[in-house]
Structure 1
Amino acid sequence: MDRFADRVALVTGAAQGIGAATARRLAAEGATVAVVDLTAERAGPVVDEIVAAGGSAIAVGCDVTDPVAVDAMVDRVVTDHGRLDILVNNAGITRDNLLFRMPADDWDAVLRTNLSSMFHCCRAAQPHMVPARYGKIVNLSSRSALGNRGQVNYAAAKAGVQGLTATLAIELGPYDINVNAVAPGFVATSMTAAVAARIGVDPDEHRRQVAERTPLRRVGQPAEIAAVIAFLASDDASYVSGQTLYVNGGAR
């Protein structure tokens, strides 16, 4: 498939996990992908994989919590490639703790990285998408948006992503820009492995426990989330906007 031939995509937090899988998937379907992470060096190995497979990608370093840096990063991508068609806001961190143990700095860091960064990236992208009357924005939310013990900061940020998505769909829809969100359940990534380590559980055992209470009896893989993101970023989803799609193996 070449659903993204001649399209330019930008994926944040793309050095690993869901972001890396998304960058690979978009490139495999023809997009030129800006693989964005905190430093270009971190993004480099994913770019090397894409290029080795015959795709087109560049590594871009950017602190997406810094609006000035975001503006410069988006301007660079558009200057180098002439356009920006797809924005995938994936960058995120966790700083889990119960409310009474959570420092204000950990609240602020998660809200800044997981929510405010999306505002900065969307605001920087829209001046390029609006005149083109074309754009696909996909934001990463989470099942934790429904509430999850020990994640008051993460849950609040990911719920905010859904409100941001619904509102931007209303504001940008008249310019033929689709804005949607994906809310994964448990996905086997280095981030979820780190969460397991912090609570003193072996990552494999943690995944097994999650799989037991998931209707499909397994955890998700980054490539499965990337496939849904790719659908929402494609013209196959041309009449889908303002939605949050939960991808969680049937969990309730």
Structure 2
Amino acid sequence: MKPDVPHDRVWIDKQTPTAFRALVKVASEVRAAAAAVGLDRKLIELVNLRVSQISGCAFCLDTHQRAALAAGNTEQELAVLSAWRRTELYSPMEQAALALAEVTATLPDEHTMDREYAFARKHLTDDQLSVVVWAATTIGAFNRVSILSRHPVRASKEKSTMTAAAESTVVRNDEKHRYEVFYGGELAGFAEYEERDDETVFTHTEIDGAFSGKGLGSTLAKHAIEDTVERGRVIRPLCPFIKAYLDKHPQYDAQVIGKGISR
């Protein structure tokens, strides 16, 4: 019999958003560092999944299963990941990364740690080793955020836009001139813009196919538009997606060029 599960947890990513945004920033830096040292997304997603398996984070497993497939991992590789030592499906570099991921997630005794560390150094440079440990550490932090907040996992066909909004985070990246939507700590999409005088010109919106069907595009558009309005700027929607969203939400017309504003 399934026990009753209370739903009164504080979603700490929403309750303390500045801290969560900082964690998201760390994850972004780790992904950039991985690419810089020759570690592809396929390997990093294996690390994300293995640590999430050890942590028992259902939400992160659900998210990174799709991300791992999108990164090029096969269904077979993901199906036997917890038994990776008993297969020959993974490259030596991937095996080294998985060994390090397990060490980082479990912090075993010194003898075990030294053995696994020595194995990893046979196949990874010091820079790569450092990035793998950071990747495992970062996903471990996301695991704890999701487990302690009790982020729900629902069947895809039952997910609504409201659920996706609750499980996602949108941030404005001023350096890249875009709004970014994150789902489970992963960058799921972005809306690019240019700023001209008092105008914010939306030029392009994109959602990663691995995160489709969750209403993240609407979540991203809503946040981007409301943030723009709150900052006292006017909107010029050159992006077809943003324009379509605005057409369905006339409450923003007063701030939109071509609707409430003529120029």
TM-score w.r.t. the length of structure 2 is 0.26
Q: Higher relative CO (CA 8 A, sep ≥ 6), structure 1 or 2?
A: 1
Bigger fraction of residues in helix? 2
TM-score w.r.t. the length of structure 1 is 0.27
Work out which of the two has the higher radius of gyration on C-alpha atoms and give 1 or 2.
2
